[in-house]
A = this chain, B = another copy of it.
Amino acid sequence: MLKQYFPFLSWAKVYDRQQLSSDAVAALIVTVMLIPQSLAYALLAGLPAQVGLYASILPLIAYCVFGTSRTLSVGPVAVVSLMTAAALGNLSLATTEQYLVAAIVLAFISGLMLILMGVLKLGVFANFLSHPVISGFISAAGIIIAASQLKHVLGVSAQGHNILEIAHALFNNLPNINYPTLVLGFSATVFLFWVRKSLYPLLLRIGVGEVMAAPLAKTGPVLAIVVTITATWLLGLEQRGVKIVGEIPQGLPQLTLPNFDIDLWQQLLASALLISIVGFVESVSVAQTLAAKRRQRISPNQELIGLGAANIASSVSGGFPVTGGFSRSVVNYDAGAETPAAGAYAALGIALATVFLTPLIYFLPKATLAATIIVAVLSLVDLGALKRTWQYSKSDFCAMLVTIIFTLINGVELGIMLGVTVSILLHLYRTSKPHSAEVGLVTGTEHFRNVKRHKVETHKHVLTLRIDESLYFVNARYLEDRVYDLVAKHPYVEHFVLMCPAVNFIDASALESLEAINVLLKDSQVKFHLSEVKGPVMDRLERSHFLEQLTGQVFLSQFDAWQTLEHSNS
């Protein structure tokens, strides 16, 4: 019981030296990746750069205690940072101060919601986000993020929460391009793309071992940062219009409670829910994949608690919403992390950086951070998925397209909500006409088959309809329609049998339909029978008055029904 809510109890007591050294190596590599990412994603969320560092210390410790994935790397991630920017942008706040207060509250509400969902075991609701919707959403969000960072690369100012606003603002500001910034930003972007694509094979080719080449290839962003800081400092680029990160308060974040202004909470509630769900879905899918690779298991409901605790921890230490990141987790896994302790060590690394390195990044150009974001998020964009999905399923394609278009044009919140709605409606629509067939007896056997496809015996007075799916509100009226249609076509029918071998449940709406069918057939002097009703469905029917009113019988097997009714005709 205790271990369920504090998963670290199960690995901490068998923790050994070998695990310690594996975790420490992984933590070092993750820390090197996390420093530029945390600064960049804070800027993406519209917050001061150091907030990214703050969101990468305590949240990692909290997840280490409460999380069930051994390799998930928690912290600021691109999509959640974009959603944070969108949520805060809705509020039209005046000062950076208010903006930061709202971000802290957002992380706190999101944390509470995640913990609540975890305790109530509502993790399953995350499955309502279908794969095409998530995939489309992340592609569209990636495009928006990349577009929103172009302003830093061009050295202009341009605000916007959707692609149209951003494009419009960029276009208007084209005459104001700052060329030193452009040269710096463009070089950094090209360099980072090259690192991502070609550095690892190059290292291998020049004789670096695989074990060293992989982590070395991850140092690209740090290299870009070091070089551009040096260049900016030596060439005095700040005076030539290159925007830099500037002074960052040195030292660890202070612990505080979030603001409890009721209006602010209400305004952020819906956004916090979306951020929580999207963050959870992104995080849990990478955690599940990585765990399964080592035949380990994660618990989705406990993951909600782990991520919730991480967000609360972020909030009380002046951070913004966090979740498990895809690329960092994969790096952590590849680098050999064996327990969540690796996350705690990375937190230590970030804490040290916060204390000692902040003066060194005074001259860090924002263009460099923008370049690391652009390169990171463009790898998330997968528009080829549109084509693959189109080939496989038109309705999944529809849901994906709606998500992409509305996310690009109307912003992340409406995009994801519409995507989910459309995918659910299309799914329900698909089940609205359950497969069913009029069946007859295959001569000499006890099997019944579709009269349209097989040569089977039928009986003038007995009509049998086999229904191949569960009956519920969306298809209940269709069932009525189907029955009335069949009966209207068979004027001599005296017995109607509904064969239910594949019916796993009958909800209250379908029960109403069965009752209506019963009454109606009674008026037409047709008896209504059921056959092959599954045990749990029968138990439930017995709790209603339907079986008392039923004009016919319930037969265990369709063959029973056939034999009994064959001889009962008038």
Query: Which of A384-401 touch B at CB < 8 Å?
Result: 388-389, 391-393, 395-396
At the interface, yes or no: A485 with Cβ under 8 Å from chain B?
yes
At the interface, yes or no: A472 with Cβ under 8 Å from chain B?
yes
At the interface, yes or no: A124 with Cβ under 8 Å from chain B?
yes
Report whether B396 and A131 are in contact in the complex, using a CB–CB cutoff of 8 Å: no
At the interface, yes or no: A27 with Cβ under 8 Å from chain B?
no
Report whether A132 and B427 are in contact in the complex, using a CB–CB cutoff of 8 Å: no
Question: Contact check: which of B127, B435, B476 meets A432 at CB < 8 Å?
Answer: B127
Bound-state Cα–Cα, A430 to B431, Å: 14
Report whether A488 and B295 are in contact in the complex, using a CB–CB cutoff of 8 Å: yes
Q: A487 and B128 in contact (CB under 8 A), knowing A391-B543, A392-B544, A511-B392?
A: no
Report whether B392 and A484 are in contact in the complex, using a CB–CB cutoff of 8 Å: no
Q: A505 and B473 in contact (CB under 8 A), knowing A293-B523, A297-B485, A424-B424?
A: no
Report whether A127 and B502 are in contact in the complex, using a CB–CB cutoff of 8 Å: no
At the interface, yes or no: A516 with Cβ under 8 Å from chain B?
yes
Q: A132 and B508 in contact (CB under 8 A), knowing A477-B127, A516-B289?
A: yes
Q: A473 and B428 in contact (CB under 8 A), knowing A132-B509, A480-B288, A507-B396?
A: no
Bound-state Cα–Cα, A304 to B504, Å: 32
Question: Contact check: which of B127, B427, B509, B511 meets A507 at CB < 8 Å?
Answer: B427
Closest CB of chain B to A48's CB: distance in Å? Answer: 37
Bound-state Cα–Cα, A509 to B399, Å: 12
At the interface, yes or no: A332 with Cβ under 8 Å from chain B?
no
Question: Contact check: which of B127, B131, B512, B524 meets A478 at CB < 8 Å?
Answer: B127
Bound-state Cα–Cα, A546 to B520, Å: 48
Bound-state Cα–Cα, A97 to B563, Å: 70
At the interface, yes or no: A475 with Cβ under 8 Å from chain B?
yes
Report whether A295 and B128 are in contact in the complex, using a CB–CB cutoff of 8 Å: no
Bound-state Cα–Cα, A476 to B300, Å: 14
Bound-state Cα–Cα, A480 to B429, Å: 25
Report whether B127 and A474 are in contact in the complex, using a CB–CB cutoff of 8 Å: yes
Nearest neighbor of A388 in chain B, beta-carbon distance: B544
Residues of B near A289 (CB, < 8 A) are 516, 520
Closest CB of chain B to A83's CB: distance in Å? Answer: 21
Report whether A128 and B507 are in contact in the complex, using a CB–CB cutoff of 8 Å: no
At the interface, yes or no: A171 with Cβ under 8 Å from chain B?
no
Residues of B near A389 (CB, < 8 A) are 508
Q: What are the interface flags for A418-458 relative to B under an 8 Å C-beta threshold, 1 for contact and 0 otherwise?
A: 00000111011111110100000000000000000000000
At the interface, yes or no: A355 with Cβ under 8 Å from chain B?
no
Bound-state Cα–Cα, A520 to B293, Å: 6
Nearest neighbor of A546 in chain B, beta-carbon distance: B392
Report whether A508 and B130 are in contact in the complex, using a CB–CB cutoff of 8 Å: yes
Interface size bracket, A side: 35 or more
Residues of B near A240 (CB, < 8 A) are none
Query: Which of A265-290 touch B at CB < 8 Å?
Result: 285, 288-289
Question: Contact check: which of B128, B295, B395 meets A474 at CB < 8 Å?
Answer: B128
Report whether B125 and A425 are in contact in the complex, using a CB–CB cutoff of 8 Å: yes
Question: Contact check: which of B130, B288, B520 meets A292 at CB < 8 Å?
Answer: B520
Residues of B near A502 (CB, < 8 A) are 502
Question: Contact check: which of B124, B297, B472 meets A484 at CB < 8 Å?
Answer: B297
Residues of B near A507 (CB, < 8 A) are 130, 393, 395-396, 427
Residues of B near A396 (CB, < 8 A) are 507-509
Report whether B508 and A540 are in contact in the complex, using a CB–CB cutoff of 8 Å: no
Residues of B near A512 (CB, < 8 A) are 131
Bound-state Cα–Cα, A395 to B285, Å: 29
Closest CB of chain B to A270's CB: distance in Å? Answer: 14
At the interface, yes or no: A468 with Cβ under 8 Å from chain B?
yes
Bound-state Cα–Cα, A391 to B132, Å: 38
Question: Can you name 28 A-B residue pairings with CB atoms under 8 Å?
Answer: A124-B429, A124-B432, A124-B433, A127-B432, A127-B473, A130-B473, A130-B509, A131-B509, A131-B512, A288-B477, A292-B516, A295-B484, A295-B487, A297-B485, A300-B477, A388-B544, A389-B508, A391-B544, A392-B540, A393-B540, A395-B507, A396-B507, A396-B509, A427-B473, A427-B474, A427-B507, A431-B470, A468-B504
Chain A residues within CB distance 8 Å of chain B: 124-125, 127-132, 285, 288-289, 292-293, 295, 297, 300, 388-389, 391-393, 395-396, 423-425, 427-433, 435, 468-470, 472-478, 480-481, 484-485, 487-488, 502, 504-505, 507-509, 511-512, 516, 520, 523-524, 540, 543-545
Besides A130-B472, A392-B508, A427-B474, 7 new A-B residue pairs in contact (Cβ under 8 A), listed by A number: A125-B425, A288-B481, A292-B480, A295-B488, A297-B484, A297-B485, A430-B505
